[in-house]
């Protein structure tokens, strides 16, 4: 098969798709990737041919102040940014590429790829990128998507069957999904992470704000660093490519600040993860059975954090209001109370029971 793997956004959207793309190549299929300009190098470094397509959501490294997290604001961004503007230009660019795959594999919010596949008359499958399942809602995006469909001459889809018409792949523990938003009938849960029990040699906290919202975090890095630095054991911090670790000044020997460290390298040696609650970071944390403290900033992080609190594998802090003292006390509580780790291990074991990416390959082959 010739597969077009298309995703809108950054590493958080490519991360769940890359293991599936690799498994497809291992099975003898050809995979080429469509992505935003600033992700082309990362995709090529991963060994895939990349095609550039609009839009580009990368902020270009411009550091922005922290704004009050607000779900309505994030819903508006999903509707206007992804369902409307992004889907229009992504569908147009895919149709202009000049090659016709047998199948399109796209991320959950690459609505333009779904529309392009429908226009080309080929099957498509989506890979979920939002862990809680309650962020991408028909009530938010339905009107905008039907406007785009009409612009391309497609019939109205009031029930948004386009989101799950052929196949949906979910790389998250089933219990993590909000019960009010069950998976569609065409969905299958898979495991894309190696399930590894974290075994730190000493108490170790890892702190990250991901690769997008790290540049929109204002003084949050400094506040969290001030809080976590006083805990016993090691502290590992990643700040992303656009922030200089030196800006935080000299650190004691137990604190390590880097621009980037692969999760697979750091998580097996951790006791606790403090993060923004992005789906990729949170699922990597759970794949190692680790408890967490979440400080959501935007996108799907607000609803992910609520699921974390509901399921008991961590605690949630308010990004603009939390203080170093509260951060330190909350991290200490989650570290000291075994119930948080036990809840995380339950989700890890649930994820471990799911079939791996080779199962996804068989499902994709059956579509063509």
Model confidence pLDDT, tens digit, residues 166-196: 999 999 999 999 999 999 999 999 999 889 9
CA distance 280 to 131: 8
What digits encode the pLDDT tens for the residues 233-281? 999 999 988 889 999 999 999 999 999 998 889 999 999 999 999 998 9
CB-CB neighbours of 114 under 10 Å: 27
Within 8 A by CB and 6+ apart from 156, the residues are: 146, 149, 150
Averaged confidence pLDDT in the chain: 94
Three-state DSSP class for 321? coil
Question: Under CATH, which architecture does the 2-192+354-367 domain have?
Answer: 3-Layer(aba) Sandwich (3.40)
Q: Percentage of the chain surpassing pLDDT 90?
A: 88
Nearest to 125 by CA among 297, 367, 326: 367
DSSP state string for 138-202: HHHHHHHHHHHHHHTTPPP-TT-GGGSSSEEEE-S-GGGS-TTSPPPTTEEE---S-------SS
What digits encode the pLDDT tens for the residues 6-53? 999 888 899 999 999 999 999 999 999 999 999 999 999 999 999 999
The confidence score (pLDDT) of residue 364 equals: 98
The confidence score (pLDDT) of residue 60 equals: 64
The confidence score (pLDDT) of residue 212 equals: 74
Mean pLDDT of 312-324: 97
Asked whether residue 59 carries a pLDDT value surpassing 70, the answer given is no
Give the count of alpha carbons within 13 A of 266, CB side only. 23
DSSP state string for 285-300: HHHTT--EEE---STT
**Residue with more model confidence, 61 or 178:** 178
Residue 283 binned pLDDT confidence (cut-offs 50, 70, 90): very high
Nearest to 158 by CA among 170, 171, 147: 147
Residue 99 binned pLDDT confidence (cut-offs 50, 70, 90): confident
Cβ–Cβ under 8 Å, residues 238 and 259: yes
What digits encode the pLDDT tens for the residues 338-351? 999 999 999 999 99
The confidence score (pLDDT) of residue 111 equals: 98
Q: What CATH code is assigned to 204-352?
A: 3.40.50.2000
The confidence score (pLDDT) of residue 11 equals: 87
The confidence score (pLDDT) of residue 28 equals: 98
Three-state DSSP class for 268? helix
The confidence score (pLDDT) of residue 274 equals: 98
CA 147 to chain centroid, in Å, comes to 27
The confidence score (pLDDT) of residue 238 equals: 95
Mean pLDDT of 111-122: 97
Among the residues of the chain, which ranges form H helices?
Answer: 11-14, 18-26, 40-45, 71-77, 87-96, 111-120, 138-151, 220-228, 263-266, 279-287, 301-311, 324-336, 338-352, 357-367
Cβ–Cβ under 8 Å, residues 141 and 83: yes
Mean pLDDT of 227-233: 95
The confidence score (pLDDT) of residue 232 equals: 93
- The pairing of strands 30-35 and 49-52 is parallel
Cβ–Cβ under 8 Å, residues 239 and 259: yes
Three-state DSSP class for 95? helix
Residue 61 binned pLDDT confidence (cut-offs 50, 70, 90): low
CB-CB neighbours of 338 under 10 Å: 10
The overall pTM is greater than 0.85: yes
Question: What are the domain boundaries of the chain?
Answer: 2-192+354-367, 204-352
The confidence score (pLDDT) of residue 66 equals: 83
Mean pLDDT of 302-326: 96
CA distance 106 to 31: 12
């Amino acid at each position: 098969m010739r597969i077009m793997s298309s995703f809108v956004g950054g590493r958080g959207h490519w991360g769940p798709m890359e293991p599936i793309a690799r498994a497809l190549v291992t099975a003898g299929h050809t995979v080429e990737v469509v992505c935003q300009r600033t992700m082309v190098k990362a995709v090529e470094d991963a060994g895939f041919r990349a095609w550039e397509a609009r839009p580009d959501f990368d902020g270009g490294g411009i550091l922005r102040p922290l704004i009050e997290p607000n779900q309505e604001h994030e819903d508006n961004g999903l509707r206007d940014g992804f369902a409307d503007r992004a889907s229009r230009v992504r569908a147009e660019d895919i149709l202009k590429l000049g090659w016709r795959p047998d199948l399109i594999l796209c991320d959950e919010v690459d609505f333009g790829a779904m529309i392009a596949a429908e226009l080309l008359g080929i099957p498509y499958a989506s890979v979920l990128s939002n862990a809680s399942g309650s962020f991408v809602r028909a009530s938010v995006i339905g009107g905008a998507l039907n406007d785009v469909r009409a612009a391309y001459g497609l019939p109205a889809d009031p029930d948004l069957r386009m989101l799950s018409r052929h196949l949906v792949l979910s790389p998250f523990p089933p219990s993590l999904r909000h019960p009010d938003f069950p998976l569609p009938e065409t969905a299958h849960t898979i495991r894309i992470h190696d399930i590894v029990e974290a075994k730190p040699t000493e108490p170790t906290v890892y702190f990250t704000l991901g690769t997008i919202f790290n540049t929109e975090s204002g003084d949050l890095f400094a506040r969290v660093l001030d809080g976590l630095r006083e805990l016993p054991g090691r502290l590992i911090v990643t700040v992303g490519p656009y922030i200089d670790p030196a800006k935080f000044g000299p650190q004691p020997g137990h604190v390590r600040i880097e621009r980037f460290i692969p999760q697979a390298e750091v998580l097996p040696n951790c006791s606790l993860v403090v993060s923004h609650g992005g789906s990729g970071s949170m699922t990597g944390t759970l794949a190692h059975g680790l408890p967490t403290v979440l400080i959501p900033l935007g996108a799907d992080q607000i609803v992910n954090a609520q699921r974390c609190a509901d399921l008991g594998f961590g605690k949630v802090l308010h990004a603009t209001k939390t203080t170093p003292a509260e951060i330190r006390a909350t991290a200490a509580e989650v570290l000291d109370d075994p119930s948080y780790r036990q809840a995380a291990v339950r989700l890890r074991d649930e994820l471990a029971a799911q079939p791996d990416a080779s199962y996804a390959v068989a499902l994709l082959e059956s579509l063509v």
